Amino acid sequence: MPTKVIFELNSASRIGEILKYENKYSVLIVTDKGITSAGLLSSSLQSLEENNIHYEIFDEVEPNPKTSTVRKGAEVLSNHSFDAVIGFGGGSSIDTAKALGVMATNKGDILDYEGVGKLVNEPIYTVAIPTTSGTGSEVTASTVITDENTLFKAAIISEKIFPDLAILDASLTMKCPPSITAATGMDALTHAIESYISKENNPISGSVALHAISLISVNLSKAYFYGTDRESRENMLEASMLAGLAFSQTRLGNVHAISQSFGGLFDIPHGIANATLLPFILKFNAPACLDQMVDIAIAMGIDTANDSKEIIADKVIDTIAEWNHSYDIPNNTKELGVDISQLDKLVKDSMRSGNVLVNPRLTTAKDVEKIIKNSYDGILNERDVKHESFV
């Protein structure tokens, strides 16, 4: 993981000094209009100005960034001589910045590089400054962009895409509203869990993932209900980064395979789609990863004394479902806006994801169809259609 990480409160207000040290004097800031209107950029812009660093702002990023957005940003890049790009915001802004860093030095279209290891040239110097604690995109080797022609979320993966620098400043997350805090926090939990149970899990990524799970289990509730508690915000930002570090080595699993099809087809925000799907996928996966589920339960602080592995796995699933309920996250994907009439395309796009290949349980198209149907109807336990966590 080659990204240099600066983890310090108010460190975003030193971005000009940091870039000057790196001999970068002209930057494109990639963000969304919510960030600019909220004034979150102000201290960073002041720092750039104080250090005589030229900047332009591209704030047209939307949730689930699209190819047209990357193409617009690439036009801005081509009209100026930028030597760095800064992704400032949530995962969508950071992913877009990473894609623009790629297009600054590589010919063609961003979709030409879909898949693994297709980049020819190193991107320009890329900085990631997250304002949410969820995606971990600041330390990952991928960017995900929606193909507007097919509505498929295409993943571009290459070791060259790791940002050069990540600035983790918890002060930027203090004003994050509860709904975003919950969705991004559960997104980070999904990353950590899917990384830990991935077929590509290894001792290093596994220890990092478990620590992320522990941090989230202790801190998400306080970040959600209290909001401005600095310690919980810092711990959630750390957990998000660690989960990103872990899954950049292992990939993910069926939650992401399916949730990305939801995002591409229905523009459903990624974090909340992951949160809603997670209990259903874990129910499917549990028979193939019972030992890992026990480890996850311990990291979550769940009492495992005298219980069988199967019961412990159910406790993990029930706890996650209860967390979703307490954070006002839907317990079924119908409420997210999934149109079940598009089931065939959802299954096809989900199976196209490389994440299915590292999912702990072998998965067929029929399996994905059943998972989507159950999640749509909110059926977590088929023997007990009305699970108490979903009442």
Q: Quick: pLDDT tens for 224-269.
A: 999 899 999 999 999 999 999 999 999 999 999 999 899 888 988 8
Q: How far apart are CA 35 and CA 59, in angstroms?
A: 8
The stretch 119-146 carries a mean pLDDT of 93
Proportion of the chain above pLDDT 90, given as a percent: 83
Enter the tokens of residue 12. Answer: 């975003």
Q: Quick: pLDDT tens for 13-41.
A: 999 999 999 999 999 999 999 999 999 99
Q: Is the confidence at residue 387, as pLDDT, over 70?
A: no
The answer to whether residues 8 and 169 touch, using CB atoms and an 8 Å cutoff, is yes
Domain ranges within the chain, ordered by starting residue: 4-173, 178-390
Ramachandran area for residue 378 (φ above 0: left; ψ -120 to 50: alpha; else beta): left
Q: How far apart are CA 201 and CA 371, in angstroms?
A: 23
Beta pairing partners, 88 = 129
Looking only at the bridges linking them, the beta strands covering 142-147 and 152-157 are: antiparallel
* CATH class assigned to 178-390: mainly alpha
pTM of the complete model beyond 0.85: yes
Enter the tokens of residue 299. Answer: 């990291």
Q: Quick: pLDDT tens for 177-211.
A: 999 999 999 999 999 999 999 999 999 999 999 99
Cα angle 34-87-22, degrees, rounded to a multiple of 5: 140
Longest CA–CA span in the chain (Å) reads: 66
CA atoms within 13 A on the CB side of 94: 28
Beta pairing partners, 26 = 54
pLDDT band at 390; cut points 50, 70, 90: very low
Write down the mean pLDDT value for the chain: 92
The stretch 76-93 carries a mean pLDDT of 92
Long-range contacts of 109-113 (CB under 8 A, 24+ apart): 109/67, 109/71, 110/67, 110/70, 110/71, 110/74, 110/145, 110/156, 111/67, 111/145, 111/147, 111/154, 113/156, 113/158
Pick the CATH number of 4-173 from 3.40.50.2000, 3.20.20.100, 3.40.50.1970, 3.90.79.10: 3.40.50.1970
